[in-house]
A = this chain, B = another copy of it.
Amino acid sequence: MASEIIEVEGHIIDSLILPKVMDKILAAGADYRVIEVDIGKTNADVSRARIEVTAADPDALLSLLDELQVHGANRVDVADAELVACDRDGILPAGFYSTTNLPTSVRIRGRLAEVEFPEMDCGLVYGQDGRLRAVPMHRARVGDLVVVGTEGVRVSPPERPRGHTPFEFMNSDVSSEKPKALLVGQVAARIRGAKAAGHKMLTVCGPAVIHTGAGPSVATLVREGWIDVLFAGNGFAAHDLESNVMGTSLGVSVSEGSAAEGGHSNHLRVINEIRRYGSIAAAVDAGYIDGGVMYECVKRGIPFVLGGSVRDDGPLPDVYANVVEAADAMRYLLPGVGVALMLASTLHAIATGNLMPAWVETFCVDINPAVVTKLADRGSHQALGIVTDVGLFASGLVEHLRLEPDVPVHARS
């Protein structure tokens, strides 16, 4: 038998942290004893609990503590973290501390260092400059000092939005039977709030954004300064460009909804021409592209990352064929993002969710509840899934954002 005392602090009751911790302990076949608990008297007060966890052996205890930390339960005993140097590029030391996307600090040589930009599933590298970074496996370099084990690591428990919100308890959020007109207005309000606070808005788009006719709405969001960063794949960009040049999306007329003759190869011809120009920006400059989401990004200087996938046709010259480089490019653009809108995207939305800190407020919109559930489960503790038609949602969002008098501006970062 092996024991250790852990503590959790924050809104641990109504943010479900304490229940989850107890549940995890029992589910692991271990046991707990509550040593001390101090429940906040009011909604504004934080609560604290100290719990003794007992597991069958030290190994089981260790991996349980590891799991509990994901939920913000830290050891009371804070010793210095163990640092081990990488001995090969792209490989972390065995036993590396595997990050969450929550705010995290580590006691190193007697002092607390804060992780600069939390990202899940990374190692923690302590630099000679005293900075602590979440580093994905492939970017580890020989000699990097990496935190090993959970000793000395403290994470802050996630807080869910509190008070009277339209976004109800737990994940019953993901129902299709909600009044969407209301939700659109509430999402607009949150976006407006985040922008007003100086945060950037990231938008992640799947090809269905174009197929469902949401392209012009998203282009408007770029043109009018709401979208600061765009992530997508070859398909989204190709169909956006196709709809501009040919008036079709995957050969279906965007204005009439009927299949165009010869349309099945339209996107290929457009991709081929863009390859000839050398880049989307060059095609815009040459006047070949004169509207649409990608056009607005180029014109407004909005940065975008198009990540490749094995099913891509072409691909467009701007697409990162190397997916590891694509993810690195996405990482580069994330600091400063405070709100993320994921529209009809599975692959790129999940990829993005994996890279973002938990504090980014995320709205996942898709007509398929399975996709929305998958997205809301990952990536962010502040994710809200909305099961609705992306085409109708996007045009409603534009209307709502325009209703207010004050003109939004791009975030200064």
Contacts and interface: CB of A to CB of B under 8 A. Distances in A.
A63 B262 contact: yes
Interface string A138-169: 10000000000000000000000011111011
A170 B376 CA distance: 14
Contacts of A121: 265, 268, 313
Nearest to A250: B177
A412 interface: no
Given A308-B324, A312-B323, A314-B137, A180 B392 contact: yes
Nearest to A317: B90
Main secondary structure of the interface of A (DSSP, over half): mixed
A3 interface: no
Given A137-B271, A261-B64, A347 B310 contact: yes
Nearest to A35: B41
Contacts of A310: 233, 307-309, 323, 326-327, 330, 347-348, 351
A29 B42 CA distance: 14
A128 interface: no
Contacts of A177: 208, 211-212
Contact of A179 (B20, B322, B391): B391
Interface centre among A13, A31, A312, A351 (most CB of B within 10 A): A13
A258 interface: yes
Contacts of A105: none
Contact of A369 (B41, B90, B369): B369
Given A31-B42, A66-B261, A389 B180 contact: yes
Interface string A235-277: 0000000000000000010111111111111001101110110
Given A179-B213, A347-B309, A388-B389, A67 B170 contact: no
A112 B63 CA distance: 49
Interface string A112-129: 000000000100000000
Interface in A87-113: 88, 90-92, 94, 96, 98
Contact of A275 (B90, B271, B309, B389): B90
A285 interface: no
28 contacts: A13-B13, A14-B22, A19-B19, A20-B169, A26-B162, A27-B164, A27-B165, A33-B41, A66-B261, A66-B262, A94-B273, A98-B265, A137-B268, A137-B272, A138-B314, A165-B258, A166-B256, A177-B208, A179-B257, A182-B213, A182-B256, A183-B257, A308-B310, A310-B330, A310-B351, A311-B327, A367-B388, A392-B392
Interface of A: 13-16, 18-20, 22-24, 26-34, 37, 39-43, 49, 60, 62-64, 66-67, 70, 88, 90-92, 94, 96, 98, 121, 136-138, 162-166, 168-172, 176-183, 186, 208, 211-213, 233, 252, 254-265, 268-269, 271-273, 275-276, 307-315, 321-327, 330, 346-348, 350-351, 354, 367-370, 377, 387-389, 391-393, 395-396
